[in-house]
Structure 1
Amino acid sequence: MAKILMKGNEAIAAAAIKAGCIYFFGYPITPQNELPEFMARELPRIGGVFVQAESEVAAINMVYGAAGTGKRAMTSSSSPGIALKQEGISYIAGAELPCVIVNISRGGPGLGGIQPSQADYFMSTRGGGNGDYRHLVYAPASLQEAVDLTMEAFEVADYYRNPVMVVGDGMIGQMMEPIEFKEIRKRDVSSEDWGTTGTKSVRKPNVINSLVLDPAELERHNIKLDQKYKEMEANEVRYEMYKMEDAEVVLVAYGTTARIVKNAVDVLEKEGIKAGLIRPITLWPFPNKAFNEIPQGTKALLTVEMSMGQMIDDVKIANEGKLPVHFYGRAGGMIPTPEAVVEKVKTILGGER
């Protein structure tokens, strides 16, 4: 199949449609606007529905309603917009409904700016909504991976009856790369047992709700959800290892920052310094087991992010105190350079070589 040159936002939207998404609800915010624009044009052509809601809060609650029909639904936004959707995401997780949420992140806090950022890590992996809930978080590093993971996200969401988030910084949304639409692994799922599809006198009505007033019953519900999240942790972790053999320093980075770090690793190799990369593809569940594969001779870890260091807590947890953990980051829409990462590695090794 020939590859197609597409902008990231449009490629993600096209992937969602190919995955069977027929409902999209959103609200404009830069730098993800091409995604709902694409959906507004293309969904009606296949009999789908696009609605520009009056707010991000309204959009996520429309997703809640549409997902209850058992059909594939999604929304997208950028950082402040995702923040407004957090309560609705908690409701959807509590009601055990599948949906896909795309966050093309921008700098913050507050309204911030429209440049690329990874400062939504806490919000994405911990969730800003109330209660004990989790959702899987994919972090693509290329447009091809964004397409693949978006299509996978719908399968995973349906399988677990749970929201799935795809997080890309503004570069993922705005840059152009060649992509192809591949066949993905289908999961054996059906909404017949829980969807509000009309009974036609052949079954009892399905009730979808996240309100549970009896505390004992609510505890049982939370335990049930927790078991589902543990299944995700056991089966859905994704990560990449790059040039880890005999690495003196192991760098940890995700998304487009990982591409920059790969360049730095290659430069260091040419200069006789062995460095490797652990790239989380799922931010949650975090790939803790990848850190068990770190070579014995490694002297330090370096976390590189487009933030003030939000992933470093997960790196420290996964590291279990075995190695010193350092950090290099840029914030507010500033992007790390391979040269700066190389210099940071050299500084770390300066007293140890």
Structure 2
Amino acid sequence: MAKVLMKGNEVIAEAAIHSGCKYFFGYPITPQSELVAYMARRLPEVDGLFLQAESEVAAINMVYGAASAGVRVMTSSSSPGFSLKQEGISFLAGAELPAVLVNIARGGPGLGNIQPSQSDYFQATKGGGHGDYYTPVLAPSTLQEIVELTEVAFNLADQYRTPVILMGDGMLGQMMEPVEFSTEQLQAIPQKDWATTGTRGDGPPRVITSLQLNDVNLENHNHKLQKKYELIKQKEARFDTYRAEDAEYFVVAYGTVSRIAKNAIDAARKKGYKVGMIRPITLWPFPEQPFFEYRDVAKAFLTVEMNTGQMVEDVRLAVNGKSPVSFFGRTGGVIPNQSEILEAITNLAGGEQS
């Protein structure tokens, strides 16, 4: 299939359809509204259902209903709207319902602005709603990677019966790049013998709920969830590295910031600094393995984010005091540029070398 030039939000939507998603419930909010508009046009063409809900709260509860029926379903929003979905996301996690949830993050807190941001990291990775739960979080850095990770998101959701977050930022949602969609036939969506589609007298009634009034039963359910999360942590952590083989200093960045950081690393290499990058692809589970591998040889790590310092906490936990961890960030929708990151690298490496 030939490559086609598309906008990021539209790539997510088309990739979801290619992954077997025929149900979408959402509400427009900048900078992800094109995703909603694209689904409104495309889903009827594939015998799917698009419904613009009256609010983000309504949309996430519609997702709960569709997921209970065993279909592949998605919703999307941006930061303030995603916050409104948190109760419903907790319900999905508690009821063990698979769904894909897209957050194209913007500047905050509050209404903030419509510029790109990564300040929703804590919300996405620490369980943004109430209760003890986690959701896998995938963070693509290119539009082609969106194509690949959207399918991964739906597969993970079904495999582990869990909501999965696909997280980008306003820059990723609005940029345009050529992408290619696979022409291979979609793998069969797994049968869901728990779905509330009726038993027709074959077996006991199927009930889906996150309500557990008995405290011991709820504790047992929490233990079951935690075992699942441990399995996800063991098997599903994803990352990428760049020029890491001989690196003495490591930049840690994800999403669109990692693309800017690559150029800064190349510029630092030209100045004689041995710099590489670790790029988390799953923000949860956080990929600790490369930090275990490099923390004993690294002179320092530099975490670069579009926030005031959130992923840096996970980096410090993974490094576990073996090497210094510094932070550079811009916030409020300001995008860090190559020269700023290069300066942060040279200040760090220069200080270490002196």
Contact persistence 1:24–1:39 (CA under 8 A): yes
Contact persistence 2:98–2:162 (CA under 8 A): yes
The aligned residue for residue 289 of structure 1 is 289
Contact persistence 1:79–1:120 (CA under 8 A): yes
The aligned residue for residue 133 of structure 2 is 133
In structure 2, the residue corresponding to 1:351 is in which secondary structure?
A: helix
Where structure 1 has 5 or more consecutive residues not aligned to the other structure, the ranges are none
The aligned residue for residue 189 of structure 1 is 190
Q: In structure 1, how many angstroms separate the alpha carbons of the residues matched to 2:320 and 2:185?
A: 35
Q: Tell me the alpha carbon deviations over residues 44-98 of structure 1, each in whole angstroms, 9 at most, x when there is no partner.
A: 1222111111110010000000100000111000001110000000000100110
The amino acid across from 1:237 in the alignment is A
Contact persistence 2:20–2:186 (CA under 8 A): no
The aligned residue for residue 66 of structure 2 is 66
Q: Please tell me whether residue 170 in structure 1 is matched to residue 142 in structure 2.
A: no
In structure 1, the residue corresponding to 2:85 is in which secondary structure?
A: helix
The aligned residue for residue 339 of structure 2 is 339
The amino acid across from 1:332 in the alignment is G
The amino acid across from 1:88 in the alignment is G
The aligned residue for residue 238 of structure 2 is 238
The amino acid across from 1:76 in the alignment is S
In structure 2, the residue corresponding to 1:210 is in which secondary structure?
A: coil
The amino acid across from 2:100 in the alignment is V
In structure 2, the residue corresponding to 1:202 is in which secondary structure?
A: coil
Instruction: Please state how far the C-alpha of 1:181 moved relative to its aligned partner.
Output: 1.4
The aligned residue for residue 84 of structure 2 is 84
The amino acid across from 1:216 in the alignment is V
Q: Which runs of 4+ in 1 moved over 6 A?
A: none
The aligned residue for residue 275 of structure 1 is 275
- Percent of residue pairs identical: 60
The aligned residue for residue 348 of structure 1 is 348
Q: Tell me the alpha carbon deviations over residues 121-144 of structure 1, each in whole angstroms, 9 at most, x when there is no partner.
A: 001101221111111000000001
Instruction: Please state how far the C-alpha of 1:184 moved relative to its aligned partner.
Output: 9.3
Q: Please tell me whether residue 17 in structure 1 is matched to residue 14 in structure 2.
A: no
The aligned residue for residue 317 of structure 1 is 317
Q: In structure 2, how many angstroms separate the alpha carbons of the residues matched to 1:295 and 1:218?
A: 39
* Pair 1:129–1:295, CA change in 2 (3 A): closer
Q: In structure 2, how many angstroms separate the alpha carbons of the residues matched to 1:238 and 1:40?
A: 32
Q: In structure 1, how many angstroms separate the alpha carbons of the residues matched to 2:272 and 2:188?
A: 46
The aligned residue for residue 210 of structure 1 is 210
In structure 2, the residue corresponding to 1:36 is in which secondary structure?
A: helix
The amino acid across from 2:121 in the alignment is Y
Q: Tell me the alpha carbon deviations over residues 137-186 of structure 1, each in whole angstroms, 9 at most, x when there is no partner.
A: 00000001111111111111011110000000111110000111135995
Q: In structure 1, how many angstroms separate the alpha carbons of the residues matched to 2:205 and 2:341?
A: 58
Q: In structure 1, how many angstroms separate the alpha carbons of the residues matched to 2:47 and 2:273?
A: 56
Greater shift, 74-83 or 243-252, is seen at 243-252
In structure 1, the residue corresponding to 2:103 is in which secondary structure?
A: strand
Tell me how large the CA RMSD over aligned residues is. 1.4
The aligned residue for residue 304 of structure 1 is 304
Alignment of structure 1 residues 152-171 onto 2, 5 Å: 152-171=152-171
* TM-score using structure 1 length: 0.97
Q: Tell me the alpha carbon deviations over residues 107-130 of structure 1, each in whole angstroms, 9 at most, x when there is no partner.
A: 000000001100100011012211
* Pair 1:50–1:187, CA change in 2 (3 A): closer
Q: Tell me the alpha carbon deviations over residues 7-49 of structure 1, each in whole angstroms, 9 at most, x when there is no partner.
A: 0000100010111111100011000000010111111122211
Q: In structure 1, how many angstroms separate the alpha carbons of the residues matched to 2:49 and 2:189?
A: 25
Q: In structure 2, how many angstroms separate the alpha carbons of the residues matched to 1:43 and 1:8?
A: 18
In structure 2, the residue corresponding to 1:51 is in which secondary structure?
A: strand
Q: In structure 2, how many angstroms separate the alpha carbons of the residues matched to 1:230 and 1:284?
A: 11
Instruction: Please state how far the C-alpha of 1:244 moved relative to its aligned partner.
Output: 1.0
The amino acid across from 1:126 in the alignment is K
The aligned residue for residue 33 of structure 2 is 33
Q: Please tell me whether residue 122 in structure 1 is matched to residue 122 in structure 2.
A: yes
Q: Please tell me whether residue 57 in structure 1 is matched to residue 46 in structure 2.
A: no
Q: How many residues align?
A: 352
The amino acid across from 2:191 in the alignment is S
* Pair 1:184–1:263, CA change in 2 (3 A): farther
In structure 2, the residue corresponding to 1:350 is in which secondary structure?
A: helix
In structure 2, the residue corresponding to 1:74 is in which secondary structure?
A: strand
* Pair 1:73–1:248, CA change in 2 (3 A): same
Instruction: Please state how far the C-alpha of 1:2 moved relative to its aligned partner.
Output: 1.2
Instruction: Please state how far the C-alpha of 1:295 moved relative to its aligned partner.
Output: 6.5
Where structure 2 has 5 or more consecutive residues not aligned to the other structure, the ranges are none
Contact persistence 2:295–2:319 (CA under 8 A): no
The amino acid across from 2:223 in the alignment is I
Contact persistence 1:244–1:250 (CA under 8 A): yes
* Pair 1:295–1:211, CA change in 2 (3 A): closer
